[in-house]
Amino acid sequence: MRLFLCEKPSQGRDIAKVLGASRRGDGCLIGRETTVTWCIGHLLETAPPEAYGDQYKTWSLDHLPIIPAQWRVEVKPKTVAQFKIIKHLLSEATTVVIATDADREGEMIARELLELCNYRGSVERLWLSALNEASIRKALSSLKSSQETFPLYHSALARSRADWLIGMNLSRLFTLLGRRAGYGAVLSVGRVQTPTLRLVVERDRAIASFVSVPYWVVNAHLSSMGQQPFIASWIPPSSGRDEAGRCLQQALASQALQAISSSKTATVVSLRTEHLREAPPLPFDLSTLQEVCSRKLGLGAQETLNIAQALYETHKATSYPRSDCRYLPESMFNEVAAVFDALLRMDPALRPALGSIDQSLRSRAWNDAKVTAHHGIIPTTEPANLGRMSEQERQVYELIRSHYLAQFLPHHEFDRTEVELECSAERLTAVGKQILVQGWKGLLSDNPDDDEPSQKSQVLPALQQGRQCAVDDVELKSMRTAAPKSLTEGDLIKAMKNVAKLVNDPRLKQKLRDTTGIGTEATRAGIIKGLIDRGYLLKKKRALMASATAHTLIEAVPAAVADPGMTAIWEQALDEIEAGRLSLDAFVAKQAHWITQLIANCGALTLSVPVEAGPVCPICNASMLRRKGKSGPFWSCSHYPDCKGTVPISKGIRRP
């Protein structure tokens, strides 16, 4: 029997339909010589510390570090029934085709099962980029060998074991240190979550320490020979401006105002025009999609991922969502006509727009050299039903569709002109933009540059050196420097991805320039959600802020644990394992040694953790502690288990 092992039931049904496996079995679909079964995500999990010895059931500094000599996995209680089904099917299979998600985690989901069930038959790999019928048939015709993707399994195991070593050991360590300081809840530390939390803590610190200072702007309204008026800004002398070019002396700005007003004319002393071309933005990877959906639609990172997953799995409308790549294989250019046909069948209202698009235009997106295991998120070649999408699903889909269509539109072309003028003894500057070809910006406008001040996008009149312009009006504006803005989920995703910008060491910065950053496309949303659920991150509308406990935790943990650069280096090590240049055992041994040293150095620390003021227990009147349950955080009596009083988290909260 040939057994296809999928990651989710929906995925299994899609593949079974193409294979003709239509007879329902217990937890599977059966064909003539083929059976399709599925996991329910991860059926297995790394065993907890107590599985390695009863002494670990009690948290104690004396028992740290916990370093398993032989790693164990356990079947999740909720998935025991499906595990038994898969184990039985594996005992009858002669060939297994791994058909889980085409990524590191998908590889581990399948390979751990094969290993635990002692499967020894042949193995092949189905590598899918979309779940529509055409993509499945194409992937079935070019199955990968088992060895080609096996390193992904070791890379995922390395990630899992490193996370376990850091999470289990350091969470116990800092929780125990917190208890000494009177904090009753768990202080959770993680390889990815703690550096992510530090990003928010540092932004909060920058906002808290920011001191606003006044500055002054002088704008002159000019005109030339009856042509369209324009605005020029005063350039303060070098002795009277800060690094950003702002004038910090009101008297100096007032003098300039008086001089420009009295002069009545300004003379053009220099003029420079450059022709610029902006290529269309590339198709989305997941991080960029999350950033744009946060900014444009107000969606959280996890919300965006869930919607992208639904567009891929449920609607078959878009390709694999957890991609870290924004480029497309050159061979997929042959599918352009099929994609356009599907788009038109889905939405006939697109016909006028598609009529102005050149399908033969090949943008920079088509580049085999830059395609990773996955390609950019794009529409599929089969029409989906827009009417079955929710409003948010349709909005996200339309963003993905627009970024694909933009690849077939011309560059946005414009002339940028910078003029410098002299007025009395003062200098003025004006910047103008003359659009020559609207190009892709007629379809979408997605870049931060589109929010540029109107003075930089104004159209200047025809000017030349020596031309005199009339001073029609002059205004003095009193301004204040603004504090940095709180991070949104989209901002945090971007910071996690582009961690190299946050590293000061030039050698490390260079190494990290092309890294995946903190976490992966598949995990970043979950990390942020976990920090919110634990109460480390507080969300006010779109803004994220760190709780007082989070600030204390970041101050207490060793710098390396919270260092975004170090975490990204670990991610690079996982890539080395995936490439076969570093062994799983060597990586885990280094992590174990590092953890041992950290615990030896931190065991004597004294924490000062602010205790969140919760409500009073309704049963015994004792104070209550914030705890995390299966359905999220809640207030629990500090006398638990003697008293089992609880209160919903929405009641009695007094944030520190």
Residue pLDDT, tens place only, 140-159: 999 999 999 999 999 999 99
pLDDT of the residue at 128: 86
Tokens coding 231: 């605005």
Tokens coding 393: 């699903």
Spatial separation of the C-alpha atoms in residues 439 and 412, rounded to whole Å: 5
Terminal C-alpha separation, the chain: 61
Number of domains making up the chain: 5
Average pLDDT, the chain: 89
Q: Are residues 171 and 246 in the same domain?
A: no
Spatial separation of the C-alpha atoms in residues 55 and 269, rounded to whole Å: 81
99, part of any domain = yes
281, part of any domain = no
Residue in 119, 183, 312, 320 annotated catalytic:
320
Span 504-539, pLDDT tens digits: 777 666 666 656 678 888 889 999 999 998 889 998
For residues 88-114, average pLDDT: 93
pLDDT of the residue at 455: 67
In this predicted model, which residue has the larger pLDDT, 419 or 501? 419
- pLDDT at 449 exceeding the cut of 60: no
Share of the chain above pLDDT 90, in %: 66
232, part of any domain = yes
Q: Are residues 352 and 429 in the same domain?
A: no
Q: Are residues 66 and 187 in the same domain?
A: no
Confidence of residue 634 (pLDDT cuts 50, 70, 90): confident
CA angle 198, 544, 651 (to 5 degrees): 115
Q: Are residues 357 and 424 in the same domain?
A: no
What does the DSSP 8-state code read for residue 143?
A: P
Helices (H), ranges, 120-145: 133-140
Tokens coding 510: 């260079």
The residue assigned the tokens 């360590």 is 173
For residues 474-487, average pLDDT: 95
> Which H or E run contains 478?
strand 468-480
Spatial separation of the C-alpha atoms in residues 582 and 388, rounded to whole Å: 47
What does the DSSP 8-state code read for residue 617?
A: P
Non-local (6+) Cβ contacts of 180 within 8 A are 606, 607
Confidence of residue 178 (pLDDT cuts 50, 70, 90): confident
Q: Are residues 167 and 68 in the same domain?
A: no
Give the pTM: 0.81
Q: 55: domain range?
A: 2-142
What CATH number did the domain enclosing 245 receive? 2.70.20.10
429, part of any domain = yes
pLDDT of the residue at 448: 45
Amino acid at 348: P
Active site residue 536: no
Residue among 496, 633, 505 at smallest CA distance from 568: 496
